[in-house]
Structure 1
């Protein structure tokens, strides 16, 4: 049965918790180890069952064109070419026969490696070295023993039970041959490959697609045989023989890839799990990314309606990374959506600093409006933060809100170094926003009395000249933006 993720309907599940009876996709389990097939349920902490690609793999009948292209990748073509054409150049002596036999073993070894390789989730062929190096040559002998055992079983049935039972046994052996090849490729056991119970179980678990595949295999066999017969009848033997060998090898690789894919497609029914290996992360760290785990926990709890738990997760995350813009944004959006004014007030300093740093004018305005509506006496208690917030509002032409922030600044923060910058900003707001030149001049003169900084005093004099000419108060030419103006000469 194919299952979707509980939290992301439409996304295939990769993990299943038997305790909670919940299915999770890869996005819900970023810290799980798919390679080792180990993951802990985010709800109960129990070890979960890995489903691999069982819920997302497409049926084999939709991949027929890819099966036909499979033998024509570079690696299988090299194997086929070596095993087909090298014997043509060998002398017909003992050494030539031995080499030809070894190459035949290598070809069959490669074809059986294709089944296991595909069943493990590799849709690209195994490398050339698989055919000629390492162990695995014994599987060819094992397959020969399987054929001998099947024939012996049919003959024995005819001798001891009669012709009709022998025909039934022969029919089952022919029908179960692909299943026997699959079992042998995966388990490397002759006994398992001829065990009728194993074969019947495999066929029953796959169901009707097994018989559909069987039909495709018959068609492929007939097509391959017809092509080889045509080559033998119409071409010179020097060409027909290698061509027939090439076609037979190509057909065999295609067939074995289809068998491996059938195992991959029905892995859940067959009791194992594998995934598309090319799609797995290449580094361990990417699977255990703490940030992605927090994202997944937030997403799942939001969908469950556990808003208090989400708020707690965000606060814990911000303790580890105070200035994380993503977490601050999530905290702000959650509190605003819940109309949690207390949370907004408690975190307003860090929220405002994040908003100012990222020039989020509308968010600053909204936050200040919500807090003032809840508490008419609300005031920002950090003088530098007040000036920075008012500066952002000023540059977004939100003049009234900027003036509200800066009202009675010198009374609220007596002796602050921000008095002069604050009242320069008030003057610019009055002049540029309301054309109140006289008030602007008064505030500029007050700002001049509140600072001894030469550069700032020069800027104030420049603004005074502009105000007397009733011109917009512009910062020094050396400034290159709002942030630069703030730092240079106290201009805002």
Structure 2
């Protein structure tokens, strides 16, 4: 049964807590170790069951084109070429026979590697070395033994009950053969692969999709046989034999890839868990277990559960450790704004305004100041540089009154600040360019001219005064460039 995340509907679940009966997706469990399939429930701290990709695997009937592309990656093509074409050029002697047998076993071994590789979540073929490494040939021998046992069962049925019983036994064996191959791939045991109880259990857990896959496999086998027969009848032996061998190996890889994908798709029902491996890496997995991501997930779940006080407490605790963390400030701003907690907004106003100034978010700045001024009409910033930054941001947004409010009595609050000249030149620009109050703008400029004689901006004041006298917008003077003689 497929499950969605409790907190993110539509997102496939990857973890399940049997104690809380809650399903979680990867966004809820960023600190879980998917490689070791270990994760603790955020609610009760108990070990959870890892579901892998069971809830997001695409049904195999929607991946038919991918199945047919599978053998045409470089590695499987090389395996097919070596294992099916090389025997055709070997001499018909004992050495050639031994090499051909070894290559046949290598191909059979590779097909089982395809099943396991796919069941583990790898949608690309295993490397070439898997077929020719010195270990793993036991599975090929086991498959041959399974064929011998199944053939003996059919023969025994015919001996006991005659042709009719033999035909029934053969039909059942053919029907159960895909299940037998999958069981052998998982269990690596001949006894398990021919045990009727194991085969019936696997088929029942997969359900009707098993029979749908069986139908596809029958059609695939018939198509493979027809293609090989066509090649043998219509082409010369030098071409038809290699082509028939290539087609047979290609269809075999497609078949085994489909069986592996069926295991991957129904992993939850079959009692194991694996995930798509193409995009996951150790670096990404380590990054996903960052404490900050765990905190984000906890805050998200608390908000969705309605535990707003706990979410707020988590954010404030994080800000004690990292006072200037923009992400946490944004979370606090949005949560306090949504809850209408104006007094808390007043408490964190300086840090929130600095964060908004970094983002050049004048709209958010205006909303925050409105909320703060509702509980503290005389609110002023204690940081002169921040006050000028916020005022400049508001000025460019057209929030003239609010910009002037932040610069109010700046010379009294910060008489020795280096920001005095920039503050009052900005005030003059607000008054002149925004409100067309030229006399007041001139007064601010005269103040800067008299009081800030050592400031670098002092030399620009004369130009501003001339512009104000002509009631022109106050603009910074153009840069002058001169070439030396």
TM > 0.5: yes
The within-5 A match list for 1:405-416 is 405-416=406-417
The within-5 A match list for 1:284-323 is 284-323=285-324
Structure 1 pair 465–126 and aligned structure 2 pair: CA distance change class (3 A):
same
Q: Is the 8 A contact 1:114 1:260 kept in 2?
A: yes
1:85 aligns with 2:101: no
Structure 1 pair 84–371 and aligned structure 2 pair: CA distance change class (3 A):
same
- Distance in 1 between the 2:51 and 2:40 partners? 14
Structure 1 residues not aligned, in runs of 5+: 480-492
The within-5 A match list for 1:47-446 is 47-157=47-157, 169-283=169-283, 284-446=285-447
Aligned to 1:488: none
Where 2:217 maps in the other structure, the secondary structure is: helix
Query: Which whole-Å deviations, capped at 9, do the CAs of 1:174-212 have from their partners, x for residues lacking one?
Result: 321111111112221111111121111111111111122
Aligned to 2:483: none
- Distance in 2 between the 1:111 and 1:399 partners? 74
Q: CA deviation at 1:273?
A: 0.8
Q: CA deviation at 1:390?
A: 2.3
Aligned to 2:40: 40
Q: Is the 8 A contact 1:281 1:287 kept in 2?
A: no
Query: Which whole-Å deviations, capped at 9, do the CAs of 1:356-378 have from their partners, x for residues lacking one?
Result: 22222122222112211222233
Q: CA deviation at 1:22?
A: 1.0
Q: CA deviation at 1:309?
A: 2.1
Query: Which whole-Å deviations, capped at 9, do the CAs of 1:327-386 have from their partners, x for residues lacking one?
Result: 222221221111111221111011111222222212222211221122223332333333
Q: CA deviation at 1:106?
A: 0.9
Structure 1 pair 16–97 and aligned structure 2 pair: CA distance change class (3 A):
same
Q: Is the 8 A contact 2:122 2:276 kept in 1?
A: yes
- Distance in 1 between the 2:22 and 2:73 partners? 40
Q: CA deviation at 1:170?
A: 4.2
1:477 aligns with 2:478: yes
Superposition TM-score, scaled by structure 2 size:
0.91
Q: CA deviation at 1:51?
A: 0.9
Where 1:23 maps in the other structure, the secondary structure is: strand
Deviating more after overlay: 40-49 vs 462-471: 462-471
Structure 1 pair 156–372 and aligned structure 2 pair: CA distance change class (3 A):
same
Q: CA deviation at 1:58?
A: 1.6
Where 1:27 maps in the other structure, the secondary structure is: coil
Q: CA deviation at 1:437?
A: 3.1
Structure 1 pair 408–191 and aligned structure 2 pair: CA distance change class (3 A):
same
Deviating more after overlay: 262-271 vs 453-462: 453-462
- Distance in 2 between the 1:232 and 1:463 partners? 94
Structure 1 pair 383–153 and aligned structure 2 pair: CA distance change class (3 A):
same
Q: CA deviation at 1:267?
A: 0.7
Structure 2 residues not aligned, in runs of 5+: 481-485
- Distance in 2 between the 1:237 and 1:466 partners? 96
Structure 1 pair 161–320 and aligned structure 2 pair: CA distance change class (3 A):
farther
Q: CA deviation at 1:157?
A: 5.0
- Distance in 2 between the 1:468 and 1:421 partners? 20
Structure 1 pair 424–242 and aligned structure 2 pair: CA distance change class (3 A):
closer
Deviating more after overlay: 325-334 vs 175-184: 325-334
Q: CA deviation at 1:66?
A: 2.2
Structure 1 pair 246–435 and aligned structure 2 pair: CA distance change class (3 A):
closer
Query: Which whole-Å deviations, capped at 9, do the CAs of 1:245-264 have from their partners, x for residues lacking one?
Result: 22222222121111111111
- Distance in 2 between the 1:432 and 1:251 partners? 77
Structure 1 pair 263–360 and aligned structure 2 pair: CA distance change class (3 A):
same
Query: Which whole-Å deviations, capped at 9, do the CAs of 1:213-244 have from their partners, x for residues lacking one?
Result: 22222222222223333333343333333332
Q: Is the 8 A contact 1:419 1:450 kept in 2?
A: no
- Distance in 2 between the 1:407 and 1:454 partners? 20
- Distance in 2 between the 1:361 and 1:214 partners? 64
- Distance in 2 between the 1:239 and 1:457 partners? 91
Q: CA deviation at 1:164?
A: 7.0
- Distance in 1 between the 2:451 and 2:68 partners? 84
Q: CA deviation at 1:163?
A: 7.4
Superposition TM-score, scaled by structure 1 size:
0.90
Deviating more after overlay: 266-275 vs 37-46: 37-46
Aligned pair count reads 479
Aligned to 1:489: none
Q: CA deviation at 1:475?
A: 2.5
Deviating more after overlay: 361-370 vs 434-443: 434-443
Aligned to 1:487: none
Aligned to 1:486: none
Where 1:278 maps in the other structure, the secondary structure is: coil
Deviating more after overlay: 269-278 vs 32-41: 32-41
- Distance in 1 between the 2:258 and 2:33 partners? 28
- Distance in 2 between the 1:454 and 1:265 partners? 72
- Distance in 2 between the 1:47 and 1:108 partners? 39
